[in-house]
Structure 1
Amino acid sequence: MHGELQTLGRAVKQAQYRQHRALDGALAAVGTTLAQWDALRAIARAPGASARALASATFQSEQAFGALAGRLVAQGLIERRPGHGRRIEHHLTPAGEKVLAAGHQVADKVLADCFAPLPAADRATLLGLLRRLNGEED
């Protein structure tokens, strides 16, 4: 039994790794990385969010997200603003919105290629199964 589960776990990791490498390589053409683009996506989904919330949304530590956010500020892609108490809010700049939009176009193509071997019904099934594993509602 453990061999089958380990094979399954490795197959999921392999698919994720291939997808991330393809996305990271393609996003370079629009001047960003997968980590940066993912941070821009998270900020766009939750404007004004704290570093703690954004770190969680992007699967990073707070320290790693803070360093990434610093680079995004230096590139003029996001702004940090004082929030309630000691909280710092994160917002996209117009330049950040442009990079995010360009990244969406790149990601749509890359992901279409990654999932092309699966018919739409299989993709829907896979998504449902992954959501169930992650404890999400369908």
Structure 2
Amino acid sequence: MTDDLERLGRAIKQVQERDHRALDLALREAGVSLVQWDALRAIDRMPDASSHELAQATFQSDQSFGTLATRLVNRGLVEKRPGAGRRIGFALTTQGGLALLAGREVAARVWAHLFGGLTEEQRRALLELLQVVGAEPKAEGGAAALGVVS
């Protein structure tokens, strides 16, 4: 069983790596990197989110997202907006919205190629399974909630 689980974990990582490499390369066409495009998507999806919430949504540390956000502001893709209290929010500029849309067109082509060998039913089943595996544990406690520490 351990060998099967190890192979499964490696297969997931291989697909993720292939997806990221292909997207990062193709997104150059839209003038953004994968990390930048992912941040634009998160800001678009979560318009009133804090920098911390956006860092979590993009799988980055707060410091990394702060550096990225500064680069996006300097490029004119994002603007800072005052939030409640000391909170700083972000919003896409017109240029950022155009980069987001261009990235979506590029990504659609990449994903059609990457997942083109699967039927619609297989893609739906794969998505459902990955959502089950990727769901947050119901219990509190980090790694302990996953059952990986005793």
Q: Which structure has the bigger radius of gyration? A: 2
Q: Matched residues in 1 for 2:81 and 2:116: separation?
A: 41
Q: Which has the higher contact order (CA 8 A, sep 6+)?
A: 1
Q: Which residue of 2 aligns with 1:134?
A: 134
Q: Secondary structure at the residue paired with 1:90?
A: strand
How many residues in Structure 1 have an aligned counterpart in Structure 2? 136
Gaps of 5+ in 2: 137-150
Q: Matched residues in 2 for 1:19 and 1:46: separation?
A: 24
Residues 54-92 of structure 1 show CA distances to partners (whole Å, capped at 9, x for unaligned) of 001000000000000000000000001221111000100
What CA RMSD, in Å, does the superposition of the two structures yield over aligned residues? 0.9
**Mapping of 1:1-80 within 5 angstroms?**
1-80=1-80
TM-score (norm: length of structure 1):
0.96
Q: Secondary structure at the residue paired with 1:121?
A: helix
Residues 14-70 of structure 1 show CA distances to partners (whole Å, capped at 9, x for unaligned) of 000001000000001111000000000000001121101100100000000000000
Identical counterparts, % of pairs: 54
Residue 117 of structure 1, CA deviation: 1.1
Runs of at least 4 residues off by over 6 Å: none
Q: Matched residues in 2 for 1:134 and 1:115: separation?
A: 19
TM-score (norm: length of structure 2):
0.89
Q: Matched residues in 1 for 2:130 and 2:69: separation?
A: 29
